[in-house]
Structure 1
Amino acid sequence: MKLGYVLPALLIAAAPAPKSPAQLFGPLYHAVEMRGIFPDSKTFADAVPKRTAAAILADYARCRCDDDTALRQFVRVNFDLPGTPAPPPSSERLPLKAHIDARWPQLTRATPRVPAGSSAISLPRRYVVPGGRFREMYYWDSYFTMLGLARSGRQDLVEEMVVDFGSLIDRYGRIPNGTRTYYLSRSQPPVFYLIAGLSRDARTLAVRNRQLRAEHDFWMAGADTLKPGQQRARVMRLADGALLNRYWDDRDGPRDESYREDVELADRTPGRDRRQLFRELRAAAESGWDFSSRWFGDGRSLATIRTTRFAPIDLNSVMVGMEQAIAANCATLGDRACAASYRAKADARIVAIRAHLWTGRFFADYDIDTGNPSGFVSAAMAFPLFAGIATDDQARATAAALVPLVGEGGMRTTLIGSGQQWDDPNGWAPLQWIAVAGLRRYRETALADRITTAWLGSVEREYEASGKLLEKYDVVERRAGGGGEYPNQDGFGWTNGVTRALMAP
């Protein structure tokens, strides 16, 4: 199979984003979601219309759909609903490593074409989905999934997914949160430099580097015109002129996939501007930490979320990694001016991070409104170690600061039990990998080994109990995790990937 993705010859600018289901179906979408026709808001977001939106809306205007039964029937007549994911075939329980290796084909999809009107986005090659309600390819999830694919000997899928991600940049100028139209207004932590780095096809380096530079342009859009103290979209200029990034979303309405939850929260919070609240929720979804007390004004309540008022330590760490990767690629390709430019960008960002995001004991998010690092203790403090930003002294201090997060089952996300899924007592596969890799980079091997052993123990324990690998784990009680907007999902892409990568070959 030929893996190359050919950029359309006349492509000059990114294509306009297609409308999301909520934008297409307006009043019908609002009614279906707010009346709870489906328990999971994502169900209707992923439904495929059988006719044009105009025809369906015209019939809806004439529909006597005042009761839920009539509305449910109208939806079923006019839409194909997503099916329930089939459970993996029953068989004799395999050892964990063999189970993961055997699970990849069950999570592999191909959508070179999608039905008209679908929220799905086509991809040129095969890809791996997380599992459960997550039926599409996701951005930062996929890097951690691909680590396991590579360890399982599935380099073919790794190369195909690199092509898929590059195709999204070529079409939209960004990699969306996931391959649905309703995700196109936001991205996720920009780890394409890590994804592209998994490719073994040296012939595609120039293409991948062009795509990386386009992604960098997306994250830095508007930076050139910013004055000290200003922010625009995903970029901010501090009072001393330093440039940093933040999470954002180009839309400010309820998320299609969590429409009811967002509207109900806004209804319960009359003192906040609804549009701003929706933007803050969406920005947290771009962060991948949806949701966490890390973003809350009062440290406890989702109603006080203020994601866009931080320059996050994880985001700015991976931005350094992206800039350094582009510089290295440019040097390999013989473009000295490009290499020098991006090296300077990375060096300036490192200076800014050390100056503004270091508390004296660990790295934390920079609070735009206070002009200081937040001091919030979370697993995100490991990202500067992963990216090689910390000095040796900072790395030792960070390792000590991470210790309270580490329990018998792995590393907790925060020390706050807010009931949100990116808070205590939950541990997540990607954060285990970032911490372990970062600690090992600075020779903090004892703590790295402790986290590895504890995490693998949690995954193994649950697998023996249920036969499943889960999206998240309670690493305090060493059981399935909880909290958040939806039930814990099994499958599960990044848990499979990180677990397989941490296991001995």
Structure 2
Amino acid sequence: MRFLIFLLLPFSLMAQNKETPDQLYGELFTDVQQSGIFPDSKTFVDAIPRRAPADILHDYQAIRSNPAIRFSLERFVEENFHLPLKPISDYESSEPDVVNHINRLWHVLHRKADSAAQGSSLLPLPQSYIVPGGRFREVYYWDSYFTMLGLRESAEDSSIEHMVQNFAWLIDTYGHIPNGNRSYYLSRSQPPFFSLMVELLAGIRGDRIYTDYLPQLRKEWAYWMDSTAPTRHLVHLRDGSVLNRYWDQLDAPRQESWMEDVKTASLFEPGTRPRIYRELRSAAESGWDFSSRWFRDGKSLETIHTTELVPVDLNCLLVHLEQTIAKGLRLKSFNDTARRFESLAAARIKAIRKYCWSPQQGWFMDFDLRLNRAGHVPTLAGMYPFFLGVAEKRQMRAAKKLLQTQFLKPGGVVTTLRYTNEQWDAPNGWAPLQWITVAGLERYGEKALARNIAGRWVALNLRVYRQTGKLTEKYDVVNANRPGGGGEYPAQDGFGWTNGVLLALMKKYNLK
């Protein structure tokens, strides 16, 4: 542990003074969010003020306190803010060829480098980027890796490079990659895929990419490993092993899902609500918001306990990060430090195998800190050890059996085995988890099953596209005639990572 501390770069949350909507607008923010004038809590926090926020708030307070004025909150907001436009990714196509459709869609989802706007929650980025689509008007961290898989197949190499440059800039500017480029996302990150993005770009531009981005890779690692940070990502286990968890540094309602979080927390005593808010936020950091994976009873959001779990997927991603840092150090001939990072990765692999493998289930699980044991309900997060080479070969035999008998459905693989009406549960399938599963199977020699799953997923995507002219965020893999559902918002179209994984799988297996 001593050399781990030695390796930590001088680290602090270097966030610029970027105020969030609740800080800028105070009681106006609260009044708008609880009024329900916008069905989606994200609408107001993405709005851009027409004048100085302080002046808007001053006028709001003055008007509200004047009984002689007949006041309309909705009209006041419309007069003082530019509201987000209807998503331009609400885009249908009569193009029969889905590859041509996606190649056109990249331009619809493309955003130019941003310019700063006073009072906007948007964190301006120096290079162009691709957004997911729908209500997601900004770049998202882990989504972007899977989008890049498709950009590679479309020969959009410069787009990939620009997005990696943006993420490096975010690390240099804020000390980490936030959930998305919005001020209200700065309190958390998302699954750390930056090292995989660097690896992807290195496959295009060459190994110099590993050394070019080595400073940012090390800062990313420092963010997750800093034991003094308010994020508290670090977990020390009884045998001295060091692993990580998801943890948002704030314990208030998510501004972009304010009404939903307040409703959930209202079921608890006031003193308990901050803990619930943090658990909700930490689940959002995982990207799986929400799933029975995070529920103590496996059924209801009210039992969420994200921070009591050591997620198997997060720790596998950190293995890859440590290995990628070591590779960059080797290329620069910093061999002693490279060996230390290789040792860190090896120790993490050993701990994942010890704490997250369930011999009873034959599957990798999240580790429950309170119960001091691996969980008992399998999810597709258990495929990350195969995707990233953490699992032993013998473990694939058991995992393959469970995958075939429980997870495999007509449209691909299902996210979990629980039906809860949460979007990261059955019957939904998601593009990133299809890719991780297929790639993990390929890595361990299970090529036939990998191709089978890829074929089912591609067929489902193409069937829905031919029926609707759209590619969507998620799909019902159990009943191909139903759209994917559940969650806090309607299903979104576009859709970045669906496009990316579909193109990559079609190319890999020559599927049409």
| Superposition TM-score tier, normalisation by shorter sequence | over 0.9
Equivalent residue, structure 2, for 1:492: 495
Equivalent residue, structure 2, for 1:45: 45
Decide whether the 8 Å contact of 2:142 with 2:191 is kept in 1. yes
Q: CA deviation at 1:190?
A: 0.3
Equivalent residue, structure 2, for 1:201: 205
CA distance in 2, matches of 1:482, 1:13: 36
Question: What residue ranges of structure 2 are gaps of 5+ in the alignment?
Answer: 1-10
Equivalent residue, structure 2, for 1:328: 327
Equivalent residue, structure 2, for 1:121: 123
Cα shift readout 1:22-75 (whole Å, capped 9, x = no counterpart):
222121111101110101100001001122222222111112389997001111
The one of 479, 484, 487 equivalent to 1:481 is: 484
Amino acid aligned to 2:393: D
> Is 1:177 aligned to 2:179, yes or no?
yes
Equivalent residue, structure 2, for 1:25: 25
Equivalent residue, structure 2, for 1:372: 373
Q: Secondary structure at the match of 2:487?
A: coil
The one of 217, 220, 223 equivalent to 1:218 is: 223
Percent of residue pairs identical:
48
Decide whether the 8 Å contact of 2:164 with 2:198 is kept in 1. yes
Equivalent residue, structure 1, for 2:395: 394
Aligned length: 489
Equivalent residue, structure 2, for 1:458: 460
Q: CA deviation at 1:198?
A: 1.8
CA distance in 2, matches of 1:402, 1:271: 42
Q: CA deviation at 1:332?
A: 1.1
CA distance in 2, matches of 1:254, 1:314: 25
Q: Secondary structure at the match of 1:273?
A: helix
Residues 313 and 13 of structure 1: CA distance in aligned 2, closer, same or farther (over 3 Å):
closer
Q: CA deviation at 1:406?
A: 1.1
> Is 1:420 aligned to 2:425, yes or no?
no
Residues 69 and 444 of structure 1: CA distance in aligned 2, closer, same or farther (over 3 Å):
farther
Residues 68 and 294 of structure 1: CA distance in aligned 2, closer, same or farther (over 3 Å):
farther
CA distance in 1, matches of 2:93, 2:231: 53
Q: CA deviation at 1:87?
A: 5.3
Q: CA deviation at 1:446?
A: 2.1
Decide whether the 8 Å contact of 1:17 with 1:184 is kept in 2. no
CA distance in 1, matches of 2:457, 2:91: 26
Q: CA deviation at 1:156?
A: 1.2
Q: Secondary structure at the match of 1:473?
A: strand
Decide whether the 8 Å contact of 1:330 with 1:336 is kept in 2. yes
CA distance in 2, matches of 1:123, 1:173: 15
After TM superposition, which residue ranges in structure 1, 4 or more long, deviate above 6 angstroms? 65-69
Q: TM-score, normalised by structure 2?
A: 0.92
Equivalent residue, structure 1, for 2:344: 345
Amino acid aligned to 2:14: A
Equivalent residue, structure 1, for 2:7: none
CA distance in 2, matches of 1:254, 1:379: 28
Q: CA deviation at 1:293?
A: 0.4
Equivalent residue, structure 1, for 2:506: 503
Amino acid aligned to 2:64: R
1:20-99 equivalences under 5 Å are 20-64=20-64, 70-86=72-88, 92-99=94-101
Q: CA deviation at 1:267?
A: 1.0
CA distance in 2, matches of 1:356, 1:211: 29
Residues 271 and 57 of structure 1: CA distance in aligned 2, closer, same or farther (over 3 Å):
closer
Q: CA deviation at 1:472?
A: 0.2
Q: TM-score, normalised by structure 1?
A: 0.93
Cα shift readout 1:230-269 (whole Å, capped 9, x = no counterpart):
x971110001100000001011110010001101111123
CA distance in 2, matches of 1:89, 1:190: 30
> Is 1:292 aligned to 2:321, yes or no?
no
CA distance in 1, matches of 2:368, 2:114: 43
Decide whether the 8 Å contact of 1:408 with 1:454 is kept in 2. yes
Q: Secondary structure at the match of 2:213?
A: helix
Decide whether the 8 Å contact of 1:35 with 1:68 is kept in 2. no
Amino acid aligned to 2:493: D
